[in-house]
Structures are given as structure tokens and as C-alpha cells.
Amino acid sequence: MPPLTRRLAPLAVLAALAVPLAGCGTSAPSNTPVRAGVNGSLSDIQNKIDLIAEDDCAIKPAASVFPNCPRFIAEVSNAAIAAKGAAPGRPGAAQLEAAATTLGDAASAFTGDGCVASPSQVPPSAATCGPALERIQSALRTLRSAVARSAVTPATPTPTP
């Protein structure tokens, strides 16, 4: 293979891989309603939150574990979205939505404060991220309780327009 072709071959492979992915991402917010699973099952969300609540990032001292928590932050953010989407028509829906919003906001603040750093970045101090993770830990416990209370009572059917 000529030297120029050898140097351009990796670029051609990258370009070929990038084409199918073009257009997959968007910065525009989605207007699609969020529902948990196929049927909006709070029991599925409760199971997920119960598993998340066992993570080291949920139970260990926040100031010492925060650098290892990016995946945890993604999981709690997803759980908050799912719980919020499943809240309408449920007993205690307002409390469930409030708890989910608080958790989502805390996770967003953690990320916004730069506490989810790439391996090549130096994370902010524990003085910034420790309290931010503590807020997430507390909000997760609150959401876990709200989901448990709401999951024991069946949802009221919501009218379809």
C-alpha cells in the first residue's frame, strides 16, 4: 500500500463509522412523554432504585467516593426521569414527582459543578463535590421512600384524550 493510502486508511474507517451515527444526537429537547418500561411499572423502578441504593456512591462517605461515581450519577438521573414519568395517576403523585425532580436537579448540579470529570481531568475538591453527592444520597433515599409508598397502591387510570 502506498504511504499516503496507509495514512488515510484509518481516516476512511472512521468516516465510514461516523456516517451511520450522523444525526443520532440532537441538542433539542424531546417532547416525548417519559414512561417507565412498557407499562410505567413503579415496581420496576422500585427494583432499579433499590439496586442503585446499594451502590458505594449511595452509602459511603460522599467526600471520599465522589470521583468514582459517574455511572451512579447517570443511573440516578435515569431513575429520577422514570419515576417522574410514572407518577401521573399514582397515589402520592405530587410527592413522587417532587422527589424525582429534587434527585434530578441534584444530579444535574453535581455534573454542572464539574464533579463528573474525565480520567484526564482533575476533579474538583471534596469540599465542592462531597456535599453535592450528599444531596444526591439524601434525594435518592427520599425518592426510594416515595416510590415504595406509591408502588403499593395501584395507579388511577389517566384519561386518554
The pLDDT value recorded for residue 156 is 56
- Are 140 and 107 a contacting pair, CB within 8 Å? no
Question: Residue 158: exposed, middle, or buried by beta-carbon count in 10 A (0-12, 13-18, 19+)?
Answer: exposed
Instruction: Name residues whose C-beta falls within 8 Å of residue 100's C-beta, 6 or more positions apart in sequence.
Output: 80, 81, 83, 84, 87, 143, 146
The pLDDT value recorded for residue 75 is 96
Q: What pTM, to 2 d.p., does this model score?
A: 0.69
Residue by residue, pLDDT tens for the chain (161 residues) are 555 444 444 444 444 444 343 333 333 333 334 443 434 588 899 999 999 999 999 999 999 999 999 999 999 999 999 999 988 888 889 999 999 999 999 999 999 998 988 778 776 889 999 999 999 999 999 999 999 888 776 555 555 66
Cell of 125: 475538591
The pLDDT value recorded for residue 41 is 80
